Amino acid sequence: MKRLILTLALLSPLAAGAASFDCQKAKAADEKAICAHLSLNDKDVEMSTKYQFLKGLFAMGGRGAIQDAQQSWLKKRRQCGGDVTCLTKAYDRRLQQLDAMYDNINKPI
């Protein structure tokens, strides 16, 4: 999946920007920290790319569930504030969750 996501990230308009949101409009402490730290910025782009890719693989019911999970995760991320260690751990956990979702999809070969 990492190769696929890397390819998608390179083709994505997000890769040209920075974080998955407009850093010039960042107001919350978590967003400012993501914009200020390249490693967090990279994790944010990776997470957003994987999330968007996975969301497109699910039908309406499943799509709603993944969107709800993402909104819940964003609320938890916001609780980290500007704590880089907390944000890094939050992204690492979310990326693992998204990878597990992909791994559990029944893929024809």
pLDDT above 50: residue 10: no
Distance from C-alpha of 103 to C-alpha of 57, rounded to nearest angstrom: 12
* Mean of all residue pLDDT scores within the chain: 85
2 is a domain residue: no
Cα dihedral 25, 79, 100, 58 in deg (nearest 10): -50
91 is a domain residue: yes
pLDDT tens-place string over residues 70-102 = 999 999 999 999 999 999 999 999 999 999 999
6 is a domain residue: no
The pLDDT score that the predictor gives to residue 105 is 83
Q: What confidence tier does 48 reach under pLDDT thresholds 50, 70, 90? A: very high
The residue segments making up the domain with residue 84 are 28-103
Query: What's the Cα-to-Cα distance from 55 to each of 30, 59, 79, rounded to whole Å?
Result: 24, 8, 24
Mean pLDDT of 19-38: 92
What lies within 8 Å, CB to CB, of 98 at 6+ separation is 47, 50, 51, 54
pLDDT above 80: residue 9: no
What domain count does the chain have?
1
Cα dihedral 83, 69, 17, 33 in deg (nearest 10): -10
Give DSSP secondary structure letters for 41-64: HHHHHHHHHHHHHHHHHS-HHHHH
97 is a domain residue: yes
8 is a domain residue: no
18 is a domain residue: no
